[in-house]
C-alpha cells in the first residue's frame, strides 16, 4: 500500500477537515492528518469533497497540509494486556501518554495499545495437524490474577490446518505463536494479538435466550428490576440524581467476569476516582484487585469530541473480544447522551439537515446498532459468553421526552429511571419504582425460584403492589391529609414506608449495605411480608394504627439493613419472633 | 519576515473574512491594524485553502474593507506568565489595565490549554471550610473541585462569592502566601467588578489576586477568551508555583451568549435555544480545567457564577453546566424574599466530591449522616407545606406541624447567617443536631443507630423568643 494515497487539506472547521476533489481513501478509513500526523477517520466521500473527522485537537493545522491514508479502518488491537489498562477513546493507553507528555495530553502522540515488550507466559492449546477455524483458542495465558486470556484464531479465518506451533513459555504479543495453512490456500502466521475494526460487530454463532440474572447486590435492581446477563439497561436521570454512583456500584459488585467502564464525555475527576478506588477495592468474587477484571476507557468532556464518538465503539469491541473467550462482560457507558451530543456536534459541522432538537436523523439507528451488540451468545468456538450494556442517559433538563432518552427506551429492555425529587430527599439509589421496568423479570423468574427461593417472585409482586397502592393513596393524602384515612390504608402507607426506607434505599457507603446477597434480599422481603401479614390481622381485629405504631417494630425492620450482617442470615428468625411478640403484645394490651 | 494582507472581503458582526490568504492555521491569532494605527486582535475560526474566517476580539467597529492591514502571527493565542501577575488587573484579553506595564516573561502558554490526563490527576479529598453552614454542612467544597453558583438576576451571588473568598482564605491553616485568587469577569456591570475589587482590598487579599476584567460595555467577543486566559494563569500559579488557586468566573451566561453570537454569524446550525451544538464541549474545556495533579502541591478550585435566564434551571446553560461540574449551589428567590442570607436552596444543591472529603479524619464522623438527615427532613417539610396550603395548617397532624417548625428554624438559623459570620464545622454540625432535635427520634431514619444515640438530644421550640433550646432532661 505504498502508492500515493494522500490528499491535501482544503478547509478546517473545528474537528472536521475537508479535502477538495476525488481522493483514494475509503469510507471509514483511518488517516494521518498534517505534519503532526493527527489521527482521523474518513466520514464522507463524494467526487467533489472528502470529509474527515480528526480525533485530536486541530489548532495550528493549515490548509495545504497532507493527509495520508493508512489503508485500514479505524480499529483496536486485541490481545493480552487490555485488562487493568486505562485507554482514551481510540485505545491509546493514558499512562503511556502521561510518560510521553506529562500532566497534559498533547497532540500527535503515538502509543502502542498493548505493551509490545512485555512477555506473557503462554500455553499453546493446539498441535500441528489440528484443524482450526475462526474463534478456535490457540493459546492461553493468565492476563491478570482473575482473568485467563484465551488467544483465538481471528474470526474471519475460514477452516485451516495448523502447520507449526511455538514453544510454551514467555512470548511478546507480536511473536509468531502458530502458523496455519488456510483452506483458501493462504499461509498465515498468528500472534497473540489481532486487529478488529471498531464499527463492525465481531461475529458469533447464535444468540441464546437470557436466563440468568446479572446480580448487582443492589436490592432495587436485583429484586425489583433485574437485568439478565446479555441484556441492555438504560439509566436516565438529570444531573445530580446519581447515575454515575449507580454505575460505580454495579461495576464494583456485579457478578460479571469483566467490566468495561466507558467514561464518555464525563468528568476527569470521576475517572481518577474510579481508577484510585478500583485499584484498592477487592473483587468480591475472587478477592483480587477490582482492576484485575476492569478496563477503563476515559474520554473526558474536554478531550476531542470525535474520539468521544469512537469511545463507545472501542469499548463494545473490547467487550466482544472477551465474550468470544466465553466471559460474561458488562459495559458501563457513562454517558450515552454525551456520545449522542458528539454525533450532533459533528453533524452540525457537516451541515447536515438536523432532525429533532438538532440531533441528526440517524441518531436512532446508531443507538440501536450500538445496543444490539449486546446479547448472550454461542461463540464461534462453542463457548457461551455475553455482553451486557448499561448505558447512562443524561436528558436535557431531566426531561425524559427528549430524543436520546426516547430512542434509547426503544432498544433497551431495562429502564431504571432516576428521579429528581428522590435525589433531593437523598433517597439513593434514586430509582423511581413507578416508572422503571424490566422486561426480563418473567424470563428470570425460573432462575430465582430455583436458586434463591420459590416464593421470590411472589414476594416481589406483593412489594410492588404495596408501592402502587401507596402511590394512589398519596394522591388522596395530598388533598386531605393522612389522619382521615381508614386504618387498613394507614397500615399500607406504613408498610410502604418500611419498604422504601428499609428495602429500596441502600447506603453505598455502609460496609454491609453497599452490596446485599440475594439470599438476604429475599429474607428482607419475607420479613416485611410477615410484618404486613401480622399487622393486617391486628387491624382487621379492630386495633387502631395508633396503637400499632407505639411499638418500635416498624423501625426495627427498617434498620435490618444495618443491623443484620450479610453473613448472619440466621438473625432473621429473631425478627420473626419479635413480630410475633409485637402481635401478642398488642392483643394483650387491648384485651 | 512580516507578511501583511491589505483589505478584507467581508465584515459580518464579529466575524471578518480574509481572502487570498495562504497557510492560515486553524485557531491562529491575527493582528489587525486599522486606519490610524489602532491595533486589534482576532482568531481564525475556519481556515480554507484561500480564505480564513476570523473573529475579532475587540469588535469589528472601525474596520473597513479596504484599509485594514492583517498580519498572521503563526501561533495560537498565548499569554506571558509570571508570578508578577499577582496583584495586577488586566482586561479581557490579558492586557494590563493598571498602568503598571506589561508582563515580561519567557514563559508563554497557549490559552486554549490541553486536556489534563485522568491518570495524572489526584482525586480531590481536602475540604475547604467556607464558614457558611449551608455549604460546609450540606454541599461541602473540596479543594480541586468545580462548584458553580446557579443564581438569578438580583440575587446576592456576588456577596456569597466574596464571602467564600474571604473566609476560605482566612480560615485556612496553611500560610496565606500559598493561597491565590484568579478573578475573571465576563460582561459584568462596573459596580459588580468594583464590588469585588473593594472586597479583595478590604480583606487584605489584593496581593494574591489576579483580575481579568471584561465589563458589560467591553467588546462581546473578548469574553470568549477571558476565562481561558484566567485559567491558563491559574494553572500556571497552581501547578508551576504550587499555590492553591480559587478561580471565580462571573458571569458564565455572558460567555455562552457571546458564543451564540459568533455561531449565528458563522451561519452554523443551532441546537437548543439557538446555542451551538458544541456548547457542551466548549463549556467542558473551561470547567474541566480544575483539579490537582500528581507530584504537585497546588490546586485549582473553580467557582463559576451563572445567572439562570428567567431563573430556569433547565435552560441549556445551567443544564449543561450541571452535567460537567461537580455539583452546584442553587440560590432561591423565595428564600431571598424572606430575607434569608445566603438564600441557598439546599435541596437542588449538591457537592459530588463531598462524600470523600468529609467524615472521620476530615470533618467529623457524623457529618454525612447529619447532612442526609437534614436533606431528607427538609424534603418532608416541602410536602407538609404543600399539604398545609390545601387543608390549612391547623388541620395538619402533630408530626407535620413539627416538621413545619423544623423547616422554619432550619431556614432561619442553619441556612441563614450574617454575611460576616464564620462558623466552624463543629458549630455547623451541632446546629444541625439541635434542629433535628425538634423532631422525634423515630423520624430520623437516615442516621446510623450508634451515631443517633451519641448525638441526638431532643430540643424544644420556644415561640415567645423564637428560639430553639435543648429540652430539659426528664
The domain locations on chain B are 4-76, 79-356, 367-470
Q: Given phi > 0 = left and psi -120 to 50 = alpha, else beta, which region is A555? A: alpha
3-state secondary structure of A430: coil
What band does A231 get if pLDDT is binned at 50, 70 and 90? very high
H or E segment at A554?
helix A553-558
- Cβ under 8 Å to A: B residues 263-322: 268-272, 276-278, 280-281, 284-285, 287-289, 291, 293-294, 296, 313-316, 319, 322
Q: Which CATH architecture has domain B4-76?
A: Beta Barrel (2.40)
Closest CA to A481 of B348, B383, B121, B373: B383
What band does A282 get if pLDDT is binned at 50, 70 and 90? confident
Residue A364 in grid coordinates: 436512532
Of residues B110, B114, B397, nearest to A481 (C-beta) = B397
- Cβ under 8 Å to A: B residues 73-102: 75-76
Span B367-470: which CATH code?
1.10.1140
* Nearest-by-CA chain A residue for B52: A11
Task: Give pLDDT tens digits for B64-78.
Answer: 888 889 998 888 889
Task: Give pLDDT tens digits for A416-462.
Answer: 999 988 998 889 999 999 999 999 999 999 999 999 999 999 999 99
Q: Taking a C-beta distance cutoff of 8 angstroms, is the pair B278, A345 a contact?
A: yes
What band does A221 get if pLDDT is binned at 50, 70 and 90? very high
Cα separation, A561 vs A524, in Å, equals 8
B316-329 mean pLDDT: 93
List residues bridging with A6 in a β-sheet. A68
Q: Which CATH architecture has domain B79-356?
A: 3-Layer(aba) Sandwich (3.40)
Average confidence score pLDDT of chain B: 90
**Measured between CA atoms, how close is A304 to chain B, in angstroms?**
8
Give chain B positions within 8 Å (CB) of A399.
314
Q: Are A563 and B375 a contacting pair at CB < 8 A? A: no
Q: Are B23 and A64 a contacting pair at CB < 8 A? A: yes
Task: Give pLDDT tens digits for A316-338.
Answer: 999 999 999 999 999 999 989 99
Beta-carbon count within 10 A of A255 CB: 15
pLDDT at residue B172 is higher than 70? no
**Measured between CA atoms, how close is B204 to chain A, in angstroms?**
33
pLDDT at residue B175 is higher than 60? no
Give chain B positions within 8 Å (CB) of A14.
278
Of residues B25, B322, B445, nearest to A239 (C-beta) = B322
Q: Are A269 and B49 a contacting pair at CB < 8 A? A: no
For residue A266, what are the CA distances in angstroms to A72, A97, A274, B288, B321?
Answer: 29, 19, 12, 10, 12
Of residues A272, A302, A341, nearest to B122 (C-beta) = A272
**Measured between CA atoms, how close is B191 to chain A, in angstroms?**
32
The whole-model pTM stands at 0.91
Q: What is the per-residue pLDDT for B296? A: 82
Cα separation, B91 vs B70, in Å, equals 22
B414-442 mean pLDDT: 93
Cell 402481635 sits on residue: A583
Average confidence score pLDDT of chain A: 92
Cell 484568579 sits on residue: B182
**Measured between CA atoms, how close is A9 to chain B, in angstroms?**
8
Task: Give pLDDT tens digits for A506-558.
Answer: 998 888 899 999 999 999 999 999 999 999 999 999 999 989 988 889 989 99
What band does A2 get if pLDDT is binned at 50, 70 and 90? very low
Give chain A positions within 8 Å (CB) of B236.
none
Cα separation, B326 vs B308, in Å, equals 18
Q: What is the per-residue pLDDT for A502? A: 93
Closest CA to B23 of B9, B41, B7, B44: B44
Give the rounded percent of residues in chain A with a pLDDT score beyond 70: 99
Q: What are phi and psi of A80, to 5 degrees?
A: -65, 145
What band does A1 get if pLDDT is binned at 50, 70 and 90? very low
Q: Taking a C-beta distance cutoff of 8 angstroms, is the pair A330, A313 a contact?
A: no
Amino acid at each position: 500500500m505504498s502508492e500515493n494515497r494522500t490528499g491535501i487539506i482544503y478547509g478546517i472547521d473545528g474537528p472536521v477537515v475537508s479535502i477538495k476533489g476525488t481522493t483514494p481513501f475509503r469510507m471509514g478509513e483511518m488517516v494521518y492528518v498534517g505534519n503532526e500526523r493527527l489521527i482521523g477517520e474518513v466520514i464522507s466521500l463524494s467526487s467533489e469533497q472528502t470529509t474527515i473527522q480528526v480525533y485530536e485537537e486541530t489548532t495550528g493545522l493549515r490548509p495545504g497540509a497532507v493527509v495520508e491514508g493508512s489503508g485500514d479502518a479505524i480499529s483496536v488491537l486485541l490481545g493480552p494486556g487490555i485488562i487493568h489498562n486505562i485507554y482514551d477513546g481510540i485505545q491509546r493507553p493514558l499512562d503511556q501518554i502521561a510518560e510521553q507528555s506529562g500532566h497534559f495530553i498533547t497532540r500527535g502522540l503515538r502509543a502502542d495499545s498493548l505493551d509490545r515488550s512485555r512477555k506473557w507466559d503462554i500455553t499453546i492449546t493446539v498441535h500441528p495437524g489440528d484443524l482450526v477455524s475462526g474463534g478456535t483458542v490457540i493459546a492461553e495465558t493468565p492476563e491478570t490474577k482473575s482473568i485467563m486470556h484465551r488467544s483465538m484464531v481471528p474470526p474471519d479465518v475460514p477452516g485451516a490446518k495448523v502447520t507449526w506451533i511455538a514453544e510454551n513459555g514467555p512470548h511478546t504479543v507480536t511473536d509468531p505463536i502458530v502458523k496455519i495453512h488456510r483452506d483458501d490456500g493462504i499461509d498465515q502466521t498468528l500472534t497473540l494479538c489481532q486487529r478488529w475494526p471498531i464499527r463492525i460487530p465481531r461475529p458469533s454463532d447464535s444468540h441464546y435466550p437470557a436466563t440468568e440474572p446479572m446480580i448487582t447486590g443492589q436490592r432495587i435492581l436485583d429484586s425489583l428490576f433485574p437485568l439478565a446477563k446479555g441484556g441492555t439497561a438504560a439509566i436516565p436521570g438529570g444531573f445530580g440524581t446519581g447515575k454515575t454512583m449507580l454505575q460505580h456500584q454495579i461495576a464494583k459488585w456485579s457478578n460479571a467476569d469483566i467490566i468495561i467502564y466507558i467514561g464518555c464525555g464525563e468528568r476527569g475527576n470521576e475517572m481518577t476516582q474510579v481508577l484510585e478506588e478500583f485499584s484498592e477495592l477487592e473483587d468480591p468474587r475472587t478477592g483480587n484487585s477490582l482492576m484485575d477484571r476492569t478496563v477503563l476507557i476515559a474520554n473526558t468532556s474536554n478531550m476531542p469530541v470525535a474520539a468521544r464518538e469512537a469511545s463507545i465503539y472501542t469499548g463494545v469491541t473490547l467487550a466482544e473480544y472477551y465474550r468470544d473467550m466465553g466471559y460474561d462482560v458488562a459495559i458501563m457507558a457513562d454517558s450515552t447522551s454525551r456520545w449522542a451530543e458528539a454525533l450532533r456536534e459533528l453533524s452540525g459541522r457537516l451541515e447536515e439537515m438536523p432532525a429533532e432538537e438538532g440531533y441528526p436523523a440517524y441518531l436512532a439507528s446508531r443507538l440501536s446498532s450500538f445496543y444490539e451488540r449486546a446479547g448472550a451468545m454461542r461463540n464461534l468456538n462453542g463457548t457461551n459468553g455475553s455482553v451486557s450494556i448499561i448505558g447512562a442517559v443524561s436528558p436535557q433538563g431531566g426531561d425524559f421526552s427528549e430524543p436520546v432518552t426516547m430512542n434509547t427506551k426503544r432498544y433497551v429492555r431495562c429502564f431504571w429511571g432516576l428521579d429528581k425529587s428522590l435525589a433531593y430527599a437523598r433517597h439513593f439509589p434514586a430509582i423511581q419504582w413507578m416508572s422503571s421496568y424490566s422486561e426480563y423479570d418473567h424470563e428470570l423468574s425460573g432462575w430465582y425460584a430455583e436458586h434463591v427461593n420459590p416464593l421470590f417472585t411472589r414476594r416481589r409482586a406483593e412489594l410492588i403492589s404495596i408501592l402502587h397502592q401507596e402511590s394512589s393513596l398519596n394522591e388522596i393524602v395530598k388533598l386531605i391529609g393522612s389522619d382521615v384515612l381508614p386504618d387498613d390504608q394507614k397500615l399500607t402507607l406504613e408498610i410502604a414506608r418500611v419498604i422504601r426506607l428499609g428495602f429500596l434505599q441502600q447506603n453505598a457507603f455502609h460496609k454491609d449495605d453497599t452490596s446485599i446477597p440475594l439470599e438476604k434480599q429475599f429474607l428482607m422481603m419475607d420479613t416485611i411480608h410477615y410484618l404486613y401479614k401480622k399487622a393486617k390481622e391486628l387491624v382487621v381485629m379492630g386495633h387502631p394504627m395508633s396503637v400499632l405504631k407505639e411499638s418500635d417494630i416498624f423501625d426495627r425492620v427498617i434498620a435490618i439493613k444495618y443491623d443484620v450482617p450479610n453473613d448472619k442470615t440466621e438473625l432473621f428468625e429473631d425478627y420473626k419472633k419479635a413480630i410475633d411478640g409485637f402481635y401478642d403484645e398488642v392483643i394483650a394490651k387491648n384485651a | 519576515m512580516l507578511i501583511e494582507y491589505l483589505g478584507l472581503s467581508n465584515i459580518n458582526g464579529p466575524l471578518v473574512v480574509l481572502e487570498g490568504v495562504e497557510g492560515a492555521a486553524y485557531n491562529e491569532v491575527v493582528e489587525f491594524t486599522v486606519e490610524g494605527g489602532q491595533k486589534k486582535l482576532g482568531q481564525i475560526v475556519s481556515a480554507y485553502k484561500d480564505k480564513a474566517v476570523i473573529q475579532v476580539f475587540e469588535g469589528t467597529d472601525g474596520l473597513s474593507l479596504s484599509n485594514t492591514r492583517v498580519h498572521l502571527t503563526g501561533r495560537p493565542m498565548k499569554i506571558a506568565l509570571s508570578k508578577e501577575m499577582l496583584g495586577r488587573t488586566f482586561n479581557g484579553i490579558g492586557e494590563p489595565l493598571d498602568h503598571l506595564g506589561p508582563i515580561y516573561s519567557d514563559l508563554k502558554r497557549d490559552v486554549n490549554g490541553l486536556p489534563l490526563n485522568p491518570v495524572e490527576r489526584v482525586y480531590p479529598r481536602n475540604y475547604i471550610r467556607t464558614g457558611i453552614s449551608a455549604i460546609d454542612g450540606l454541599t461541602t467544597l473540596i479543594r480541586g473541585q468545580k462548584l458553580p453558583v446557579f443564581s438569578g438576576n438580583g440575587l446576592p451571588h456576588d456577596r456569597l462569592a466574596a464571602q467564600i473568598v474571604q473566609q476560605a482564605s482566612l480560615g485556612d491553616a496553611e500560610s496565606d502566601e500559598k493561597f491565590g485568587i484568579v478573578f475573571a469577569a465576563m460582561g459584568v456591570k462596573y459596580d459588580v467588578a468594583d464590588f469585588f475589587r473593594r472586597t479583595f482590598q478590604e480583606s487584605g487579599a489584593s496581593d494574591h489576586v489576579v483580575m481579568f476584567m471584561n465589563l458589560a460595555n467591553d467588546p462581546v467577543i473578548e469574553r470568549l477568551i477571558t476565562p481561558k486566559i484566567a485559567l491558563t494563569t491559574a494553572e500556571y500559579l497552581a501547578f508551576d508555583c504550587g499555590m492553591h488557586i480559587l478561580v471565580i468566573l462571573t458571569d458564565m451566561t455572558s460567555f455562552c451568549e457571546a458564543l451564540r453570537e459568533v455561531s449565528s454569524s458563522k451561519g452554523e446550525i443551532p441546537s437548543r435555544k439557538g446555542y451551538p451544538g458544541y456548547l457542551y464541549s466548549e463549556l467542558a474545556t473551561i470547567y474541566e480545567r480544575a483539579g490537582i495533579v500528581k507530584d504537585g502541591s497546588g490546586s485549582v478550585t473553580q467557582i463559576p457564577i451563572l445567572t439562570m435566564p428567567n431563573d430556569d434551571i433547565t435552560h441549556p446553560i445551567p443544564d449543561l453546566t450541571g452535567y460537567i461540574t461537580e455539583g452546584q449551589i442553587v440560590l432561591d428567590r423565595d428564600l431571598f424574599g424572606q430575607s434569608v442570607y445566603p438564600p441557598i436552596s439546599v435541596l437542588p444543591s449538591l457537592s459530588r466530591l463531598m462524600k470523600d472529603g468529609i467524615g472521620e479524619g476530615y470533618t467529623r464522623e457524623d457529618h454525612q449522616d447529619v447532612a442526609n438527615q437534614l436533606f431528607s427532613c427538609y424534603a418532608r417539610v416541602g410536602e407538609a407545606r404543600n399539604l398545609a396550603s390545601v387543608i390549612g395548617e391547623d388541620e395538619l397532624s402533630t408530626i407535620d406541624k413539627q416538621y413545619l417548625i423544623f423547616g422554619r428554624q432550619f431556614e432561619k438559623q442553619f441556612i441563614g447567617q450574617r454575611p460576616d459570620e464564620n462558623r466552624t464545622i463543629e458549630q455547623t454540625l451541632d446546629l444541625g443536631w439541635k434542629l433535628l432535635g425538634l423532631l422525634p427520634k423515630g423520624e430520623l431514619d437516615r442516621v446510623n443507630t450508634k451515631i443517633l444515640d451519641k448525638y441526638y438530644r431532643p430540643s424544644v421550640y420556644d415561640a415567645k423568643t423564637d428560639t430553639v433550646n435543648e429540652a430539659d432532661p426528664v
